[in-house]
Amino acid sequence: MLSEELVYELRSKIRSGIDFGGALSDEELMEKTERVVFQWCQAHPVTVSDKVKLVKRLFYSFRGLDILQPLMEDPDISEIMINSHTELFIERHGVMTRYPAAFESREKLEDLIQSIVASVNRVVNESTPIVDARLKDGSRVHVVLPPVALKGPCMTIRKFPGEPMTMEELIRRHAVSPEAVQFLGELVEAKYNIFISGGTGTGKTTFLNALSRYIPSDERIVTIEDSAELRIEGVSNLVAMETRNANTEGKGEMTIRDLIRASLRMRPNRIIVGEVRGAEALDMLQALNTGHDGSLSTGHANSCLDMVSRLETMVLSGAELPLQVIRKQISSAIDIMIHLARFRDGTRKVFEISEVLGVEDGEVKLSPLFLYQEEGERNGRVMGMLRKTDVVLRSTEKLGLAGKAAGTPEGGSL
């Protein structure tokens, strides 16, 4: 692997030959970079592959994402974690390892962060040290600056595949069973309200994107996110909205709550909230309870039942309502809950699909329709299958209204 010392040395030579008083095109910068690399290679023979890597590494140190660019281009890397300008980690195939490279300086990392944040009209500084942003390819970026981050600027990049993951691909990866996919596809088409829960990095957004493929193409969809990352395909009548931070004067903030309320006046067939984290949960539940069936959303939790408790807490954080009223709102708004889990071998799978039955004995009642059954390990990989339980779907009214036969995933009678 080419050393960072070499990169710094050649970068200094390139910089010394650049007239920063005038604009330098990408083509001109690439020519200067190639010239410096070829001159160095005359005295230090390297392979053609290493020469190409060196040229790209130097070019991207000026115009791209610096040392992160090769990582962004590697399809096997799903997450990049920068704890400081000298401490980088990557996740490849579910395994986390330290990356043997570093930024040239803390200032270089800070400049890169400011460039990323400014490209999506966000602001991050000492007074607002935490921000969510995204890259042009849709990858999610989370930034934390000092004094909150004690080691220095901290950035986490959640990459997304070049092409959105499909249910067929998730089946191939044993993340979900064909039987469950057929079942969920029919529920999406029939406009069941579905909530996806899971821990960090379990693939909630990926699964939501895959589920959205079953939305009929003639419907009007409104998506609401903190940082836009949903990739809804096959629907032309789509409105995508993203929250906005307050400006330096403390004005102009647009929260998820604001966007949910605005979406109700846009005549949507379905509302998709990328993730609920706080008081906006109440607005989402009210939207689902006012005729916007077929909506989708996600949230962080350890199980479907835990997600119900978290939704209760979220609503309570923004409204003083009796707990029983909140539970009634949840049970009438959400039809199906799906929980995704990350296993010890790094794989991500659907762990549970449950129907929300209503409130019984003062608690929201869940009925497990599918549960993951582990069957041991083979060559370090967790083996198992998402299996249908003996329980059948009770609420079949929406299937009937959609003109679908009311049956179990196997096609039998309910």
User: Given this model, what pLDDT does residue 413 score?
Assistant: 36
Residue 210's CB is within 10 A of a number of other CB atoms, namely 22
Residue 234's contacts (CB-CB under 8 Å, 6 or more residues apart) are 213, 215, 217
C-alpha dihedral, 260 to 266 to 268 to 274, nearest 10°: -30
DSSP 73-89: H-TTEEEEEEEETTEEE
DSSP 159-198: ---SSPPPHHHHHHTTSS-HHHHHHHHHHHHTT--EEEEE
Residue 252's CB is within 10 A of a number of other CB atoms, namely 10
β 348-360/77-84 pair status: unpaired
User: Given this model, what pLDDT does residue 83 score?
Assistant: 96
C-alpha dihedral, 262 to 264 to 268 to 270, nearest 10°: 100
Residue 54's contacts (CB-CB under 8 Å, 6 or more residues apart) are 2, 6, 7, 10, 37, 46
The owner of tokens 């198992």 is 384
Using DSSP's 3-state secondary structure scheme, residue 25 falls into coil
Question: Of 361, 367, 315, 358, whose CA–CA distance to 333 is shortest?
Answer: 358
**Quick one: the chain helix, strand, coil %, rounded to 5?**
35, 25, 40
8 Å CB contact between 299 and 205: no
Name the pTM for this structure: 0.79
Q: How far apart are the first and last CA of the chain?
A: 61
Residue 397 backbone dihedrals phi, psi, to 5 degrees: -60, -45
User: Given this model, what pLDDT does residue 410 score?
Assistant: 44
As a whole number of angstroms, the distance between CA 155 and CA 133 comes to 10
The owner of tokens 């403390």 is 250
The owner of tokens 């005359």 is 42
User: Given this model, what pLDDT does residue 411 score?
Assistant: 42
DSSP 219-271: S-EEEEESS------S-SSEEEEE-B---TTS---B-HHHHHHHHTTS--SEE
Spell out a b/e string for 382-408, using b for 16 or more CB atoms within 10 Å of the CB, else e.
beeebebeeebbebeebbeeeeeeebe
Which portions of the chain are predicted below pLDDT 50?
1, 21, 407-414
Q: In angstroms, how far is CA 113 from the centroid of its own chain?
A: 19
As a whole number of angstroms, the distance between CA 134 and CA 207 comes to 19
76 is written with which tokens? 């096997």
Spell out a b/e string for 357-379, using b for 16 or more CB atoms within 10 Å of the CB, else e.
eebeeeebbbebbbbbeeeeeee
User: Given this model, what pLDDT does residue 405 score?
Assistant: 63
**Which residues sit opposite 133 in a β-bridge?**
141
| Cα-based distances in Å from 97 to 312, 335, 344, 347, 349 | 37, 40, 15, 16, 22
As a whole number of angstroms, the distance between CA 355 and CA 339 comes to 12
DSSP 90-140: EEETTEEEE-S---S-HHHHHHHHHHHHHTTT---SSSS-EEEEE-TT--E
Question: What DSSP character marks residue 374?
Answer: E
User: Given this model, what pLDDT does residue 409 score?
Assistant: 46
Q: What is the pLDDT of residues 211-249, one digit of tens each?
A: 999 999 999 999 999 877 888 888 999 999 988 877 767
